[in-house]
Amino acid sequence: MGLLTFVKVGEVTNLSDARYCAGMGVDLLGFNVVEGTIGYVDPEKFKEITGWIAGVSYCAELGDHYPSDRLIESFKNANIAFIESKDIHALKNIVGFEKIFRISIQDEIDLIEAGKMNTDSLTNTDYVLIHSENELLVDQLDLLATNISKSTPVIRSYGLDSDSVQTLNKRVFFGIALKGSEEIKPGYKDFDELADILEELEED
């Protein structure tokens, strides 16, 4: 089974999400590795979850945390291939990983600041992930994504549902990013929203 575009599912905290996504053909699973923050997955839990799945790559999600050399080394030992950060400076000196620069946009001010980026400012990133929960900005975000995609592959993490993924502009978007959710109780999950989108992306 495969999907029609690259798909990252982030904020994974449980085996149910991980196994379901891997089974659906998701490319990349992201885990919050910043201790003391909501959704943090410690190394033991990460090992426990990933020990049950195969065929998918892993991403360390740093938020705006600046990683230590020791933390970076632990990622290599855990077979983590991608690092995602909101801090482009944190990505600058990291080597040996695919790097995702996450841009979170919630209002017009954020959008203006993001629009100031140029090709030179993105030279240390492999992908740009654009995230927003502001449905009023979708058209403007598409314009931003179009400009960025001229130099760097863009992962869309806004305005996504089972309808919008059917018309995803592959000339602009390398793929999409979704997120996991907490279990109702161990082993029990509601996959409705995630499933609706992934099922639309299944190859015939």
Mean residue pLDDT of the chain comes to 92
**3-class secondary-structure state, position 179:** strand
Q: Is the pLDDT of residue 186 over 70?
A: no
Residue 120 lies in a domain: yes
Read off the pLDDT band of 118 (50, 70, 90). Answer: confident
The number of folded domains in the chain is: 1
Residue 169 lies in a domain: yes
Q: Is the pLDDT of residue 64 over 60?
A: yes
Residue 57 lies in a domain: yes
Q: The pTM is what? A: 0.94
What CATH number does residue 89 fall under? 3.20.20.70
Domain of residue 177, residue span: 6-200
Residue 1 lies in a domain: no
Residue 27 lies in a domain: yes
Residue 191 has a pLDDT of 65
**What mean pLDDT do residues 171-189 have?**
78
Question: In which region does residue 179 sit, left (phi positive, over 0), alpha (psi from -120 to 50) or beta (all else)?
Answer: beta
The better pLDDT of the pair 181, 54 is held by 54
**Cα–Cα dist 70/33, whole Å:** 13
Q: Express each pLDDT in 141-162 by its tens digit.
A: 999 999 999 999 999 999 999 9
